[in-house]
Amino acid sequence: MRVLGSGQGLSLLTCKRWYMRIAAKSREVSAVTVSNGLAASLDLRLLVVFDAVMRKGSLTVAGDSLGMSQPLVSQSLARLRQYFGDPLFVRVSGGMSPTPRAHELAPKIALMIQLMQEALEGSTDFDPATSSRTFSFAATDFGAAFLLPKLLSFLSRNAPGIRVRATNAPRHGVDEMLEQGEVDVAVGSFAVNRQAFYQRRLYYSDYVCLVRRAHPTIHGNLTRSDYLSASHALVAPLPTGYEALERFLLENIPAARFAVIVPNFLTAITTLPSSDALFTVSRRAGEQISQLLGAQVLELPVDIPGFTVRQFWHERFHKDSANKWFRDLIYTLLANPDGLEGVDGLAPPDSTTLGG
C-alpha cells in the first residue's frame, strides 16, 4: 500500500464527520502501535488533529475543519508534544511550521487515518436517496454552468437531501485542491498526471463562434475573412485547457480588435446581446448559450484544436462509495450527450486511469 503524504489528509467537507466517527472508535481502542514499535495509550482523535494542523498550517483553521475550538486544538497538540517528545509545530509568521519530527511522522499518521477511514467505509453503504452529504467539484465557470442544471435536476428527483458546492478551478491547476480534500472531483481539461490522481475521460469538444442574432453583417455562416477582421470578446486569462484558442486569438487577431476583455466566460456572454463582437467558445457551451440568448452558433472557419474534458479525483477517495457514486453521476450526465434522458440508472465508466 502506498504511503500518502501529509498533504493528502481527510476531506475538508468530511473532517467533522470522520472526527466524530474516529472519536467513537478511539473509545473502543485502548492503545495503538506507533512508528517506534512501542504500544502506548494514544487517543486516535489526536492523530486526526495532527493531520489537520499539518495540512492547514494553523490551529484555528484546523479546528474549524474538525469542528473544534482553538483552545481544544492547543490542548490536543500539547498532548501530542508530550507523547512524541517533540514540539512538532512551532509558531512562525502566518501560522504553524512543522518540525523535522513532524515531517517524519506525517505520512505514517496519514496512513493510519486512511486505514481507519477505509475500515469504517467498508461497513457503510452509501444511499443517495437518504444522504444529506455535500459534494463539491472544481470546474471553470462555464463548466459549472453546463453541469449544474443537469446535476440539480437529477438530485431533486432522486437524492433531495444531497447538496452541491461548485468551486472555480484555479488557473495553476487543481492538484492541491484534490490533495487537501477541498473538492471531491475536478472536471475540466487539466494537466493532472501525478500518480496520486485518477482520471476519466468525459468528452471531446471543439470550438464554435457565437454571434448575436441581430448582427448587422453576419447571418448563418462565417468566412475566414469575417472571423479575422471582426471584433472579438476575449476572456483573459483563459482557463487551463484553452491554450490553443488563446494562442490563436493572440497571434491572429490584432489587439485593437478585442472589443471587450473580461475575467470569465459568464461575464462575456452578458455582452453578447448588445455587442457585435464574436465570442469563441466550446461547442457544448455555445449550444447552451444559444438556447438562453437566441444567439447564432456558427462553425469556425479557422482551424483551432479542441480539447478533452476529464474528471479527476484523488487516489485516497477512489474506493469511497459516496465519491464513486458522485463520479458515476457526473460521467452519466456529461459523457452521454442526452444526459439522463431515457436512462434508468447510472452508466458505468468506460475506464479509469491512475496518472503517473
Q: Given 3-state DSSP classes, what are the helix, strand and coil percentages for the chain, each rounded to the nearest 5?
A: 45, 20, 40
**What confidence score (pLDDT) does residue 161 get?**
94
CA count, 13 A, side-chain hemisphere, 172:
2
Q: How far is the C-alpha of 10 from the C-alpha of 55, rounded, in Å? A: 9
Strand partners, 209: 280, 298
What are the chain's domains?
A: 15-122 (1.10.10.10), 134-204+307-354 (3.40.190.10), 207-299 (3.40.190.10)
How far lies 134's CA from each of 12, 127, 301, 306, 350, in Å? 11, 13, 43, 33, 26
Q: Which DSSP symbol is given to 278?
A: B
In tens digits, the chain (356 residues) has pLDDT values of: 233 333 334 444 445 555 555 444 444 433 334 444 333 457 778 988 999 899 888 999 888 888 888 899 999 999 999 999 999 999 998 889 999 999 999 888 887 887 776 666 554 578 999 998 999 999 988 888 889 999 999 999 999 999 999 988 887 778 888 887 889 999 998 887 667 889 999 999 999 999 999 999 999 889 999 999 999 998 888 877 888 999 999 999 999 999 989 888 878 888 888 899 999 999 988 888 888 888 999 999 999 999 999 999 988 888 888 999 999 999 999 987 554 443 334 444 444 555 54
Strand partners, 199: 312, 353
Q: How far is the C-alpha of 273 from the C-alpha of 284, rounded, in Å? A: 19
Q: Hey, what's the cell of 149?
A: 442544471
Residue 91 CB partners (closer than 8 Å, separation 6+):
97
Give all strands of the β-sheet with 279-282 in edge-to-edge order.
279-282, 207-211, 296-299
Q: Quote the mean pLDDT of the chain.
A: 80
pTM, 2 dp: 0.64
**What confidence score (pLDDT) does residue 33 get?**
40
**DSSP letters along 278-310, please?**
BEEEEHHHHHHHHHHH--EEEE-SS----EEEE
**DSSP letters along 66-90, please?**
HT--HHHHHHHHHHHHHHHTS--EE
CB atoms closer than 10 angstroms to residue 343: 13
Residue with cell 465508466: 349
Among candidate residues 17, 18, 8, 251, the one with its CA nearest the CA of residue 106: 8
Q: How far is the C-alpha of 190 from the C-alpha of 171, rounded, in Å? A: 9
How far lies 131's CA from each of 72, 125, 135, 164, 333, in Å? 30, 11, 11, 12, 20
Tens-digit pLDDT profile for residues 223-278:
999 999 999 998 888 877 888 999 999 999 999 999 989 888 878 888 888 899 99
The answer, yes or no, to whether the previous bond of 128 is cis (omega within 30 of 0) is no
Q: Hey, what's the cell of 19?
A: 472526527
Strand partners, 74: none
**What confidence score (pLDDT) does residue 340 get?**
46
**What confidence score (pLDDT) does residue 316 get?**
82
**What confidence score (pLDDT) does residue 66 get?**
84
Tens-digit pLDDT profile for residues 174-226:
888 888 788 999 999 888 766 788 999 999 999 999 999 999 999 988 999 99
**What confidence score (pLDDT) does residue 296 get?**
93
